[in-house]
Structure formats: C-alpha cells, structure tokens
A and B are shown apart, each in its own frame.
Chain A
Amino acid sequence: ETGVTQTPRHLVMGMTNKKSLKCEQHLGHNAMYWYKQSAKKPLELMFVYNFKEQTENNSVPSRFSPECPNSSHLFLHLHTLQPEDSALYLCASSQDPRGGGETQYFGPGTRLLVL
C-alpha cells in the first residue's frame, strides 16, 4: 500500500453518462496528479494540483474536469466521454511541489471502459 487510494477500481460507462473518479492520499502531501495510461503509450500527465491550486493542465479535453477541494482529495469528473478515453487513470501525490521532480506515490488506478 502506497497511502494513495482510488475509487472505483473499475468503471464502465456510456458516452452520455456522467461519473467521477476519486483519489485520496493519506501521506500529508501537498501535490496531487492525474495521469492517463493507454496501451502502448507513455504515461500522460493530465493535471497537477499544488496546495489545492491547479498548476498544470496538459491540453486535456474539457470533458475531463478535475476538482481538488483540499490537499488530500482529488476528483476527476467525466462527462460525454469517447471510446478512446478508455484507459487506466492513475492518481499520484508528492510531498512538496517546490522540490522539483520529487518521488511520486501512485494509487492503484481506475480502469475505465467507455462504451
């Protein structure tokens, strides 16, 4: 266990559905990240939150909407997704974003299938 939990672990949704992914870290970290991992592609950074403020949005389509109510929780709201959005979505956290390239602790991921 890395101290980062994600729910749900598996999700199947239609293209018209609205769902949310949740991430919680119990490490007292100040930075949280969303990544997308598709088959045969590098891990893609989607969003970065430092001290609850979004500091990076890596040209992610607006059908993905992140929310960070506090330093321990991170959500990814999904709506009108496309089949190509099917992937493993990973959440990660690190202690202090000011450190530059710190070790990241990952959750187990949510396997998303869009039909």
Chain B
Amino acid sequence: SQQGEEDPQALSIQEGENATMNCSYKTSINNLQWYRQNSGRGLVHLILIRSNEREKHSGRLRVTLDTSKKSSSLLITASRAADTASYFCATAIGMSGNTPLVFGKGTRLSVIA
C-alpha cells in the first residue's frame, strides 16, 4: 500500500544547526503533510504542501516537494532543543473524500543543547 518512508530514521544535531529530513512515496498524491510528535504524545500538524506546489515555508520550517522524484524534504533551520521529537510525513493519495492519510515510520530528531 502507499506509504511515505522517512530518511534518516534518526538524526542527532547540535543546537543551532539545521536539520533535514526526507520522505519518499510510491504513487501520485493529492497532498503531503508533515507532523511532529513529542515522546508519547499526539501528533501535531506542521505543514501541508499540495501536489502543485514546490515549496512552502512556515517560520523556521521549509518543505519542498518534488513530484517527479516522489519525494519531499523538511528543513528545520537554527534548531532548538525543543525541536527534539519524531517527525512524520503523511500522504493523501485520493482527490475525493474519504481519503485517509498514510503515515511513514518517522524520523527521530535529537537536538543537543
């Protein structure tokens, strides 16, 4: 079934550095979303990028989408210890209703102060 695959599985960086996470998927999508999850908590929506968009920004977040390569990247600039969390991409493959999101396994980001 359609699934986003995040890469890397885990990432450890120093505070102030940039963090880049990638997501690859298999079939055409309607949109792709990124979510963050702090340990043992619910997921929080970060950003949604539609299939006809190539780049979106939200604060320190930058998301790109390359539909020809079926991939997306999430860049967090000037990382902070509070950015430590797991990050998931989720793909929506349908154009009509009742289209559930399909989540990947996530990238676990550790930002060391």
Contact B98–A90 (Cβ < 8 Å): no
Residue-wise interface mask of B (9-44) relative to A, using a CB-CB cutoff of 8 A (1 in contact, 0 not)? 000000000000000000001110101000011111
> Closest approach, in angstroms, between the C-beta of B61 and any C-beta of chain A?
15
Say which size band chain A's interface belongs to: 20 to 34
Residues of B within 8 A of A103 (CB): 33, 45, 48
Q: How far in angstroms is the closest Cβ of chain A from B4?
A: 9
Consensus secondary structure, chain B interface:
loop
Is B45 a contact of A42 with CB atoms below 8 Å? Answer: no
**A1-38: which have CB < 8 Å to B?**
2, 4, 6, 33
Which of the four size classes fits the interface of chain B?
A: 20 to 34
**B112 touches A (CB below 8 Å):** no
Q: How far is the CA of A90 from the CA of B88 in the complex (A)?
A: 15
- For A41, list chain B residues within 8 Å (CB): 105
Residue of A nearest to B104 (CB): A42
Query: Is B95 an interface residue when CB atoms closer than 8 A count as contact?
Result: yes
* Most chain B CB neighbours (cut-off 10 Å) among A88, A90, A99, A101: A101
Residues of chain B with a CB closer than 8 A to A97's CB:
97-98
Closest CB in chain A relative to B32 CB, distance in Å: 9
A100 touches B42 (CB 8 A): no
- Give Cα distance in the complex from A100 to B93, angstroms: 8
- Residue A77 is within 8 A (CB to CB) of chain B in the complex: no
- Cα of A109 to Cα of B44 in the assembled complex, Å: 12
Interface 0/1 of A52-96, CB less than 8 Å to B: 000110000000000000000000000000000000101010001
Since A4-B42, A90-B43, A103-B45 are in contact, a sample of 4 more A-B pairs with Cβ atoms closer than 8 Å, ordered by chain A residue number, is A41-B105, A101-B29, A101-B31, A108-B42
